[in-house]
């Protein structure tokens, strides 16, 4: 299928897109942290175990020392920022002009669900199977959907005009 001139992706300002991506990643990462804290409180668990698990995935030798929890949160937020930038670049550059307003947040959440599936069904079971069992699949999937909702909101609030507005 060929894109007609008015259907082509719009020019995207890279600085604005990357800046918005950072904000989207921070919003999404914070939403995930908040969700995990709330879930663990309600389930009688300890959110710090999830942060330790993140550290164990990246730096297996540092899983138990006192730095494991803050390091896990820092790793999580760093990865969230990178993911936010990737989502902003992909969604902002990839949506055609005239796309319905609802398409952007749906695309963002859809991308995050794909990221969750790749992480929890393929990558993490191969490199650290114990981390996959830190929280139930439904909780980790909800976490990633909340990331998508928060990131989509950041794109809406701080991302400038959508492709249909340009």
Higher-confidence residue: 164 or 69?
69
Confidence label for 142 from pLDDT (cuts 50, 70 and 90): very high
**Whole-number Å distance between alpha carbons of 112 and 65:** 31
Report the pLDDT value the prediction gives residue 162, as an integer from 0 to 100: 55
pTM of the predicted structure, to 2 decimals: 0.85
Domain ranges of the chain: 14-158
Kindly report, residue by residue over 11-41, the tens digit of the pLDDT.
567 788 889 999 999 999 999 999 999 999 9
Give the residue among 95, 107, 77, 114 at the shortest CA–CA distance from 165: 95
**Whole-number Å distance between alpha carbons of 21 and 31:** 15
Residue 8 reports pLDDT greater than 90: no
Kindly report, residue by residue over 50-107, the tens digit of the pLDDT.
999 999 999 988 767 889 999 999 999 999 999 999 999 998 878 877 778 788 999 9
């Amino acid at each position: 299928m060929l894109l007609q001139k008015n259907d082509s992706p719009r020019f995207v300002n890279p600085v604005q897109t990357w800046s918005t991506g950072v904000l989207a990643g921070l919003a999404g990462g914070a939403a995930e942290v908040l969700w995990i804290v709330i879930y663990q409180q309600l389930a009688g668990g300890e959110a710090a175990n999830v942060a330790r698990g993140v550290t164990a995935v990246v730096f297996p030798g540092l899983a138990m020392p006192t730095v494991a929890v803050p390091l896990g949160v820092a790793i999580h937020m760093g990865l969230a920022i990178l993911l936010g930038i990737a989502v902003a670049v992909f969604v902002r550059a990839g949506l055609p002009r005239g796309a319905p307003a609802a398409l952007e947040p749906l695309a963002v959440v859809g991308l995050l669900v794909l990221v969750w599936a790749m992480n929890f069904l393929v990558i993490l079971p191969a490199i650290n199977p114990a981390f996959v069992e830190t929280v139930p699949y439904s909780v980790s999937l909800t976490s990633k959907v909340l990331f998508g909702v928060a990131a989509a909101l950041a794109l809406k609030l701080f991302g400038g005009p959508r492709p249909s507005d340009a």
